[in-house]
Structures are given as C-alpha cells and as structure tokens.
Amino acid sequence: MKNSPLLLGLSATAIAFSVFTLPAAAATPATATTDLNIRSGPGPQYPAVGLAGRGSAVVVDGCIEGSRWCQVDANGTRGWAYSTYLSANEGGTTVVIENEREALSIPTVTYEGPAVETTASVPMGGELIGPVEAVDAIEPPATVRTYIDGNPSDPVYLDGEVVLGATVPETVTFREIPAYQYRYVRVNGQPVLVEPQTRRIVYVYR
C-alpha cells in the first residue's frame, strides 16, 4: 500500500528536525560575547546563515565531543557557533561555554548534515587566536572596500570564528592596500582588515 501524502510529509518533517531536536530540558541559555556568525555546519568552511550580535541571547542545544562547535538557536536561526564566544551563568558566575560544558550539563551532539569542501590556501588546523582583549572597530573609507572587491585575495580557512580582536596566525599572508595603514585577507569566507604589527582583526566586512 502506498503511503499517503500526509504520512510522507510527516516523515520528511521528522527527518528534517532529527538533526537539531533535543529535549527542551537540555537547552542552555547563553549570551554571545561578540558579533558571532551562526553557520550551517560545525566548521568555518560552512556558510554563515545568521549573526548573533554581541550581547544577544543564544540557546545552546549541545556541543560536538572534542570540538569547540556547538549547535545553537539564535533568535530563531538554527545552526552552529564557536563556543569560545558564548557565555552562560553557572551558580551566579558568568563562564565561557567551552570551559564549563560538564558543569553546565551541556549534552554531546553529532552533525548529520552534508560535508563542505574547501580549497583553502592555508591547511585547516591553523586557528584564529583570541581575542585576548577588546579592540575598537575602525571605520574604513568606502574606497577600501572598492579596492578589496577589485583585488580579491586567496581565501584561507582557519579553525575558530572571525571576530573583532582575534589574532591571525603567522602562516597567513596579508595583502597591502595602497596608502592605507591596515592590510586585508579573506578568512573563512569574509574579508577582514588587520593591523599588520599585531595581526589583530580590526574590521570585519559582513
């Protein structure tokens, strides 16, 4: 006997939600400590599907064992975020999700979606560091973006997330911008401006 369209629809819905659905009790309220990309999969090679602004509420469903990537819901956008930039309340103290998974009773989850290939000029395994301290974002002139669009750099993919103040490792080469003090590079799919001496990100084009 053939399945009815209604049953087929219910089956498809169940499959679609199986990747993300966990018991409500498992969800952990958290806060984004910086402007943080929500990605379609657990890695910088996956496209951003949303943005959790600094200070915004995020619900953490669970994290992958041995990884800093966690499955989240940010204002109705479901995806994956880097737990280094998520904080939560533990006994009246604000803690970083990555450092207190066991204390927060955050469950382990797995990713069941498609893999995404990259053609990274820097092998995966390098990592964005920090930010150790906050930096003030600059306001680049429009001519800088025009130059970047007309002179694209090779993309690099680094573990972690592109956030203001993060340090780009020494393995990454920057491109100069004529008559401008900052350099640029495209990291994890996003053009960023960096201060060449400290290698810290001072602006992220979104």
* CA 78 and chain centroid, separation: 12
Contacts of 167 (CB under 8 A, 6+ apart): 128, 129, 130, 131, 132, 198, 199, 200, 201
Q: pLDDT for 173-204, tens place per residue?
A: 999 999 999 999 999 989 999 999 999 999 99
Residue 186 to residue 155: CA distance in whole angstroms: 5
Question: Is pLDDT of 8 > 60?
Answer: no
Residue 177 to residue 68: CA distance in whole angstroms: 34
**Is residue 59 within 8 Å of residue 30, measured between CB atoms?**
yes
Backbone angles phi, psi at 193, to 5 degrees: -105, 140
**Is residue 89 within 8 Å of residue 63, measured between CB atoms?**
no
Look at the block and give the residue holding tokens 């001072």.
202
- The pTM (predicted TM-score) of the whole model is 0.79
Segment 93-104 mean pLDDT: 94
Question: Is pLDDT of 9 > 50?
Answer: no
Domains defined along the chain, listed by start: 5-109 (2.30.30.40), 142-204 (no CATH)
H and E: helices and strands count for the chain? 2, 14
Look at the block and give the residue holding tokens 């390098």.
126
| pLDDT at site 115 | 87
Residue 100 to residue 141: CA distance in whole angstroms: 41
**Is residue 94 within 8 Å of residue 46, measured between CB atoms?**
no
More confident: 7 or 48: 48
| pLDDT at site 6 | 35
Residue 19 to residue 25: CA distance in whole angstroms: 17
Residue 190 to residue 148: CA distance in whole angstroms: 11
Question: Is pLDDT of 95 > 90?
Answer: yes
| pLDDT at site 125 | 52
**Is residue 64 within 8 Å of residue 108, measured between CB atoms?**
yes
**Is residue 44 within 8 Å of residue 161, measured between CB atoms?**
yes
The pair of three-digit structure tokens given for residue 62, joined into one six-digit string? 């669970």
Task: Give the H/E segment covering residue 30.
Answer: strand 28-32
pLDDT band with cut points at 50, 70 and 90 for residue 4: very low
Q: pLDDT for 25-72, tens place per residue?
A: 468 999 999 999 999 999 999 999 999 999 999 999 999 999 999 999
Return the minimum-mean-pLDDT range out of 54-58, 127-131, 148-152, 196-200.
127-131
- Residue whose C-alpha is closest to residue 159's, from 52, 63, 50, 83: 83
| pLDDT at site 120 | 61
The pair of three-digit structure tokens given for residue 39, joined into one six-digit string? 């990605």
| pLDDT at site 181 | 97
* CA 147 and chain centroid, separation: 26
